[in-house]
Chain A
Amino acid sequence: MSIAANQIGVLLATLVLAALFLVSLGVGAGDVTLFGLWHGTAELDLLAISRLPRTVAVVLTGAGLAIAGLIMQAITRNRFVEPSTAGTAQSAELGILIVTLLWPAASLGFKTLAASVTALLGTAFFLMTAHRLPPTQPFLVPLFGLVYGSVLGAVATLIAWQLDLLQYLSIWSSGDFSGVLRGRYELLWIGAFLVVAAWLVADRLTIMALGRDASIGLGIDYARMMQLGLGIISVISAVTVVVVGVVPFVGLVVPNLVSRLMGDNLRATLPVVAVSGAILLLACDILGRLIRFPYEIPVGTVMGIVGALLFLVLIFQPRVRG
């Protein structure tokens, strides 16, 4: 992939994202028009309190999840894993559940911290196990992760059921941006910082995808990079689950699609993956708002359909050679 073509790709993606951003500001139960914005304060308030925070939240989440998936695929050397198919998101859910249980008044920040810790533990266990599955059967790893996630989900459901927290659990287990308001989404900016952090170590991540031996041979502290990667994945997943709930497939399909178009030199592709993740999620969120206007379909449901379809296309279509 030449540098010029690469830059055109980034530019195009950014333009699409900007367009969707504007559309997202305009779509919702309350009307926002340019005319109204010029004259009244009510519409400005709507924009500032609800529409803008929501749109920013979607962008941050989409970018963060796509990068989390990208990192996970690099460090597991398996193209078909991502946080929601590796037990990460479900471990985070368990963490929030436990905190809510022990300390109902805990702040959002503290919940995120707890969720990050459990996400880290759950993902580390998955990686240790998945590592021992035969590399000749790459499909076993995501399968193992999906079922592992559903087992963790069953544990969470069981706890929630016993303690009458089922309603809370359903909030976390299905991603939804309709509740995002100013003052309640800002934690997501952590994800943005982590995306930048990932970009700074992009070369190392590319090398890690070549394998442990190649990484050590090139002088990379493999164990520390593994920990760093795990940390980024866990925190992004935890923040997402705490603020909006589980959003499946973004981390899976976006890195794969970008890889098919632009290859796997992450320093070049990582920004594109982040922007594309934001585009996909924003498009799905807008779609969810339009399908049954003025009611909303949660983005988790829309992504479940769009993401699953894209994923099936990805695994059925043999690699384009050339």
Chain B
Amino acid sequence: MIRIENVSLAFGKTNILKEISVSIPKGGITALIGPNGAGKSSLLGLAARLLPLQAGDISVDNLSVSSTSGKVLAKKIAILRQDNHVGSRLTVRELVGFGRFPHSHGHLTENDHRIIDESLRLFGLTEMSERLLDTLSGGQRQRALVAMAYCQDTDYLLLDEPLNNLDMYFASELMKSLRNIADTRAKTIVIVLHDINYAGSFADRIIAMKDGQVVADGKPADIMTETALGGIYGFNIPVISVGGQPIALPFRR
């Protein structure tokens, strides 16, 4: 369980997060949604100890992120950030392999290779595994980075807008893979999404943030309503039902 208690964050006079308390129990996919600047990425960064905690506490399986050593946490929680500019000339396999670093410190074992192969397969990278990263398209690179995070083989996987740069096909493939991982390997996935329909279709739970606070929290069916979405985003978003699945239509006419 990721437990977030009274977490606040400020840069200068700007308050990014205000007294946030929320728990994410083990298992399933939790989607973080909300308008730009709501503080979703900051919250994720804090949970993965990429940003120092200013106020409050965050713990992962009762390990406080501020006092637990980085090595221990790296086996517990993996994160993929939004702006991943990789300038290194590495092959896809090498990059994904670095996800094993917390476990093997660079001396890859048979088991490591098995997990690397699995990650490559899972995210459709097997064919391009020997290619250099700078020869890949933006979407392929993005998938390689997700595979690397997965390869870290942690209970918790935090993904900050992983659908960036992906076309519709690969976006939906990636979401299906994540769903599959969550269901069959008992992984806990927290994912920041901009497209609320992906959140509505694939997540078990949606947490909506706005101005540094949690404004809505519940099952997709509870969040994917005209009233709830209108409150979160500040404009009217019609929701229709297609085959029992609520679909938001944030297109103004």
B-binding residues in A (CB < 8 A): 1, 77, 79, 135, 202-203, 206-207, 209-214, 216-221, 259-260, 263-265, 267, 319, 321-322
Contact = CB atoms under 8 A, between A and B. Distances in A.
A321 B135 contact: yes
Contacts of B85: 135, 211
8 contacts: A213-B79, A214-B81, A216-B48, A263-B132, A264-B88, A264-B90, A267-B106, A321-B135
Given A217-B48, A218-B74, 7 more contacts: A202-B106, A207-B98, A210-B88, A219-B69, A219-B74, A220-B74, A221-B70
Most buried by B among A221, A263, A321: A263
B90 A218 contact: no
Nearest to A217: B79
B66 to A, nearest CB: 13
Contacts of A213: 45, 50, 79, 81, 84
Contacts of B90: 206, 263-265
Contacts, number: 81
Most buried by A among B45, B85, B90: B90
B233 interface: no
A83 to B, nearest CB: 20
B85 to A, nearest CB: 7
B91 A219 contact: no
Given A210-B86, A267-B106, A319-B134, A218 B91 contact: no
Interface size class of B (residues with CB under 8 A): 35 or more
4 A-B pairs closest in CB distance: A219-B74, A203-B106, A264-B88, A219-B71
Interface of B: 45, 48-50, 69-75, 78-79, 81, 84-91, 94-95, 98-99, 101-102, 105-106, 132, 134-135, 149, 152
Contacts of A221: 70
- Chain B at the A interface: mostly helix, strand, loop or mixed? mixed
A206 B50 CA distance: 19
B50 A217 contact: yes
Nearest to A322: B135
Contact of A321 (B79, B84, B91, B134): B134
A247 to B, nearest CB: 26
Most buried by A among B48, B134, B149: B134
Most buried by B among A135, A211, A217, A218: A217
B87 A203 contact: no
A87 B98 CA distance: 32
Contacts of B132: 263, 322
A219 B101 contact: yes
A218 B88 contact: no
A219 B86 contact: no
Contact of B84 (A79, A203, A214): A214
A203 B100 CA distance: 11
Most buried by B among A1, A218, A220, A264: A218
A184 B88 CA distance: 39
Given A213-B50, A216-B70, A263 B106 contact: no
A37 B84 CA distance: 60
B134 A207 contact: no
Nearest to B70: A219
A243 to B, nearest CB: 32
A218 B99 contact: yes
Nearest to B149: A217
Most buried by A among B50, B85, B89, B152: B89
A289 B78 CA distance: 55
A209 B88 contact: yes
Contact of A219 (B88, B95, B102): B102
Contacts of A322: 132, 135
A285 to B, nearest CB: 30
